[in-house]
Chains A and B, each alone.
Chain A
Amino acid sequence: MSRDTILNSIRRGLKRGPLPADQKAMLDSRLMAHPTHIIPARSRLPRPQQVALFIANLEKEFATAARVPDADSVPAAVADYLAAQNLPARFAMAPHPMLAAMPWDRFPMLSFEARRGQGSDQASLQHGFAGIAETGTLMLPSAPERPTSLNLLPDAAMVVLRASDIVGAYEEAWAKLRATNQDALTGGFMPRNVMLVTGPSRSADIEQTLELGAHGPRNLHVIIVDDDPAAIPDALA
């Protein structure tokens, strides 16, 4: 069998047979413990600075950010953004309960559909699972209420993110996923797809020169809901 062909060839190279049970048990316990390694110090900051670092890194990677005091203020921020971008007041929205609970009825000029992304979408509103300050990165795990296609197909991708979901390093975001997610199929924490997104799509394939908006969104806008009193800078509090 081809599986054994490969495994046996590996073992021949390593000059040993299959691993004995005690060694396998040791390796399994490493998998269970999934130890962390060096975590860069750059994101180990007090909460207000951590959120500020997240925003600074987002902007360095050509994304934009807006901060709103509470979830009820998100629809106005969406309307403002679409108007500022000269986009129609229409978008595809992730069918996420946090987004659905927002007071959209106060903004009758905004029209949206709760669904997956489509090829002709101009704008989308996604729910952010976590923000990673280290590099200004969004973690977007797939789920029925967080379709992957919304991250990819629209020209302008908007993401709502609670400040309390902003962490320092990648490892902290994975720890949060490990702790809170349960996959219906495997029973583990890993959903079908997890995207780490850092800024809008781009390419430097033409003469090594950066151009934004290759195949994915040309613009990425993050609306941060300041739900975490500890994360609000003194100037805003």
Chain B
Amino acid sequence: MMQVHSPQFKERASAALADAPLQKALTRFRDGFQAKRAAAVAGLPEFEALRDVARDIKNHTLAHLDFYLERYADNVERAGGVVHWCPTADDARAAVLKICQDAGARTVTKGKSMISEELGINAHLEAHGMEPVETDLGEYILQVRDEPPSHIIAPAFHLNREDWEDSFRRAHTELPADREFHERRDILTEARARLRNKFLTADVGITGANFLIAETGTSVIVTNEGNGDLTQTLPRVHIVLASIEKMVPTLEDACTFIRLLARSATGQDLSVYTTFSTGHRREPDLDGPEEYHVVLIDNGRSGMLGTEFQDMLRCIRCAACMNHCPVYGAIGGHAYGWVYPGPMGSVLTPTLKGVDKAGHLPNASTFCGRCESVCPVKIPLPSLMRHWREREFERHLTPPVARRALGFWAWFAKRPAAYRLATRLGARTLKLLGRGRGAFQSLPFAGGWTAGRDLPVPEGGTFMAQYARRQRGKT
């Protein structure tokens, strides 16, 4: 399973800030995703209303998740599929391995799947003598480089063209030395030729699922490359890896989500391929897998129901929260140290891996609220991160200095007048101290903050004073 490096968040974040190629990739990344989403949202006047509908559908489904899972499983079986119920990651890995072994698999192609990363499927198959092949272009290069993804929909955004060329020359050893990789197109052509052969010879294809549909027993994948479709159409056996919260009741419910997903993720109106799979090949069909398995995974999800983190189960993994997060935008995904980075990861990782392993992550936030404002299913990410901070605090996992400082802050927070006075004084002092520079690299009493980030010099007024001024200006 992918190791959790989240406890080293601070060290990894500092390293990321000093990593020039990464910073180059991040600049490209921020401009791209934010502008594209904004344009797509502007093109659909109903977008905001659809977010409410999506939130409500997910809440309804989660409140009746046992019912919908049972209906779903019945319908998968009616269409000739097999559902493997897996409470834990170990169960899921064992189920996948058994299906592959029973199929006598040597080569296993894979569509992009975050749950596969969560479970560490590749390492498990390799340990048992099989060759898993990632077929999403970004995942493929990462497999070649033996690196984890740094983003949930653009796994290799942190690489520059030179890195691709480099890795291909090293891994594809029979390439002639004069083979040119000047253009992105050349890289794509090489990967396409390589993987075409894998698609045609694989014994088993593994995909994730963006949605499961109870009404019909259907799994849905959303891709642009077509690799997921080739993965699930050509081999004799198709395995779907899906966690239980992917459920929606009907196709009409799914329509609302597909209107939100691509717009929130890549700024497309719809991804190129949105594909609905239901069971194995029908008797007279000319193609399609002969076996269809769904490995249905809990791995900590059911434990979130009924807690303050239940809202997080609405997540459709669109990545809008990380695409709009100033912290993610400054350090990228690897610093977060596990499969899920950015705001959604800061909530999910401590939930799934334990607050002792990932308790720092919820501090990787400026609480600016942009993540919540773009989340298509309206998950209150900042307040969920705040919940974690509180829990971490209660468990005394926070370093003692931070705890004293927070206690001090809490005393003021309960006394608004004193708080206003103190922050006004503080902001003025900082302005005086910081005259002529844009940011502090270190501050007395705030070493924990400035060791990992620069504190911007305040403009001279407190937030509350500025807010009050703006409100007055409005009326």
> Chain B contacts of A183 at CB under 8 A?
79, 282
B160 touches A216 (CB 8 A): no
Report the separation of the CA atoms of residues A200 and B192 in the bound assembly, to the nearest whole angstrom: 14
Identity of the chain A residue whose Cβ is nearest the Cβ of B25 in the assembled complex: A207
Identity of the chain B residue whose Cβ is nearest the Cβ of A197 in the assembled complex: B273
Q: B52-69: which have CB < 8 Å to A?
A: 53, 57, 63-69
Identity of the chain B residue whose Cβ is nearest the Cβ of A199 in the assembled complex: B272
Which of A41, A191, A206 is in CB contact (< 8 Å) with B45? A41
| Interface mask (B75-94 → A, CB under 8 Å = 1, otherwise 0) | 10011100001110001000
Which of B80, B279, B284 is in CB contact (< 8 Å) with A144? B284
Q: How far is the CB of A139 from chain B (nearest CB, A)?
A: 10
Report the separation of the CA atoms of residues A119 and B75 in the bound assembly, to the nearest whole angstrom: 32
Identity of the chain A residue whose Cβ is nearest the Cβ of B271 in the assembled complex: A198
Q: A37-78: which have CB < 8 Å to B?
A: 37-38, 40-42, 57, 61
Identity of the chain A residue whose Cβ is nearest the Cβ of B232 in the assembled complex: A193
B199 touches A215 (CB 8 A): yes
| Interface mask (B250-294 → A, CB under 8 Å = 1, otherwise 0) | 111101101100000010111111111111111111111000000
A14 touches B225 (CB 8 A): no
Identity of the chain A residue whose Cβ is nearest the Cβ of B266 in the assembled complex: A204
Which of B63, B71, B284, B286 is in CB contact (< 8 Å) with A31? B71
Report the separation of the CA atoms of residues A204 and B33 in the bound assembly, to the nearest whole angstrom: 11
Q: B25-58: which have CB < 8 Å to A?
A: 25, 28-29, 32-33, 44-46, 49-50, 53, 57
Is A108 an interface residue when CB atoms closer than 8 A count as contact? no
> Chain B contacts of A31 at CB under 8 A?
71, 214-215, 249-250
Report the separation of the CA atoms of residues A151 and B226 in the bound assembly, to the nearest whole angstrom: 9
Interface centre among A7, A35, A192 (most CB of B within 10 A): A192
Which of A11, A13, A144, A215 is in CB contact (< 8 Å) with B135? A215
> Chain A contacts of B303 at CB under 8 A?
9, 13
Report the separation of the CA atoms of residues A3 and B297 in the bound assembly, to the nearest whole angstrom: 10
Which bracket fits the contact residues of B? Answer: 35 or more
| Interface mask (B191-233 → A, CB under 8 Å = 1, otherwise 0) | 0100111011000000000000011111000001111011001
> Chain B contacts of A214 at CB under 8 A?
137, 188, 192, 224-227
Report the separation of the CA atoms of residues A204 and B323 in the bound assembly, to the nearest whole angstrom: 15
Identity of the chain B residue whose Cβ is nearest the Cβ of A42 in the assembled complex: B44
Q: How far is the CB of A83 from chain B (nearest CB, A)?
A: 24
A13 touches B249 (CB 8 A): no
Given A186-B79, A211-B188, does the pair A200, B272 have CB atoms closer than 8 Å?
Answer: yes
Q: How far is the CB of B349 from chain A (nearest CB, A)?
A: 20
B287 touches A148 (CB 8 A): yes
Which of A11, A14, A15, A170 is in CB contact (< 8 Å) with B258? A170
B234 touches A203 (CB 8 A): no
Is A85 an interface residue when CB atoms closer than 8 A count as contact? no
Identity of the chain A residue whose Cβ is nearest the Cβ of B251 in the assembled complex: A174
Q: How far is the CB of A187 from chain B (nearest CB, A)?
A: 9
| Interface mask (A153-196 → B, CB under 8 Å = 1, otherwise 0) | 10000000000000001110010000000011110101111111
A24 touches B200 (CB 8 A): no
Report the separation of the CA atoms of residues A152 and B75 in the bound assembly, to the nearest whole angstrom: 27
Which of A57, A61, A137, A152 is in CB contact (< 8 Å) with B229? A152
> Chain B contacts of A217 at CB under 8 A?
226
Q: How far is the CB of A232 from chain B (nearest CB, A)?
A: 26
Is B16 an interface residue when CB atoms closer than 8 A count as contact? no
> Chain B contacts of A5 at CB under 8 A?
85, 87, 298
Identity of the chain B residue whose Cβ is nearest the Cβ of A18 in the assembled complex: B66
Q: How far is the CB of A45 from chain B (nearest CB, A)?
A: 15
Q: How far is the CB of A42 from chain B (nearest CB, A)?
A: 7
Report the separation of the CA atoms of residues A9 and B87 in the bound assembly, to the nearest whole angstrom: 9
Q: How far is the CB of A129 from chain B (nearest CB, A)?
A: 13
Report the separation of the CA atoms of residues A140 and B229 in the bound assembly, to the nearest whole angstrom: 13
B282 touches A184 (CB 8 A): yes
Report the separation of the CA atoms of residues A135 and B85 in the bound assembly, to the nearest whole angstrom: 36
Surface stretch bound by A, among B304-312, B405-413, B456-464: B304-312
Which of A2, A7, A37, A196 is in CB contact (< 8 Å) with B274? A196
B224 touches A2 (CB 8 A): no
Main secondary structure of the interface of A (DSSP, over half): loop
Is A86 an interface residue when CB atoms closer than 8 A count as contact? no
Report the separation of the CA atoms of residues A61 and B224 in the bound assembly, to the nearest whole angstrom: 11
Report the separation of the CA atoms of residues A183 and B57 in the bound assembly, to the nearest whole angstrom: 28
Given A185-B279, A211-B185, does the pair A196, B270 have CB atoms closer than 8 Å?
Answer: yes
A190 touches B224 (CB 8 A): no
Is A230 an interface residue when CB atoms closer than 8 A count as contact? no
A19 touches B66 (CB 8 A): yes
Q: How far is the CB of A173 from chain B (nearest CB, A)?
A: 10
Report the separation of the CA atoms of residues A116 and B200 in the bound assembly, to the nearest whole angstrom: 14
Report the separation of the CA atoms of residues A185 and B258 in the bound assembly, to the nearest whole angstrom: 27
Is B187 an interface residue when CB atoms closer than 8 A count as contact? yes
Identity of the chain A residue whose Cβ is nearest the Cβ of B65 in the assembled complex: A10
> Chain A contacts of B347 at CB under 8 A?
none
Is B244 an interface residue when CB atoms closer than 8 A count as contact? yes
A197 touches B227 (CB 8 A): no
Identity of the chain B residue whose Cβ is nearest the Cβ of A189 in the assembled complex: B216
A117 touches B287 (CB 8 A): yes
Report the separation of the CA atoms of residues A41 and B218 in the bound assembly, to the nearest whole angstrom: 28
Which of B25, B288, B305 is in CB contact (< 8 Å) with A193? B288
A171 touches B225 (CB 8 A): no
> Chain A contacts of B234 at CB under 8 A?
149
Report the separation of the CA atoms of residues A137 and B68 in the bound assembly, to the nearest whole angstrom: 29
Identity of the chain A residue whose Cβ is nearest the Cβ of B306 in the assembled complex: A13
Is B156 an interface residue when CB atoms closer than 8 A count as contact? yes
**B interface residues, Cβ below 8 angstroms from A:** 25, 28-29, 32-33, 44-46, 49-50, 53, 57, 63-71, 73, 75, 78-80, 85-87, 91, 135-138, 141, 154-157, 159-161, 164, 184-185, 187-188, 192, 195-197, 199-200, 214-218, 224-227, 229-230, 233-234, 244, 249-253, 255-256, 258-259, 266, 268-288, 296, 298, 302-307, 310
Known A-B contacts: A15-B306, A186-B79. Give 5 more (CB < 8 A). Answer: A10-B66, A14-B305, A37-B57, A215-B225, A216-B229
List 7 A-B pairs, Cβ < 8 Å: A40-B46, A152-B230, A190-B276, A191-B282, A192-B79, A193-B278, A209-B184
The 3 closest A-B pairs by CB, nearest first: A216-B226, A13-B305, A214-B225
**A interface residues, Cβ below 8 angstroms from B:** 1-3, 5-7, 9-15, 18-19, 23-24, 27-28, 30-31, 34-38, 40-42, 57, 61, 95, 115-117, 119, 134-135, 137, 142-144, 147-149, 151-153, 169-171, 174, 183-186, 188, 190-209, 211, 213-217
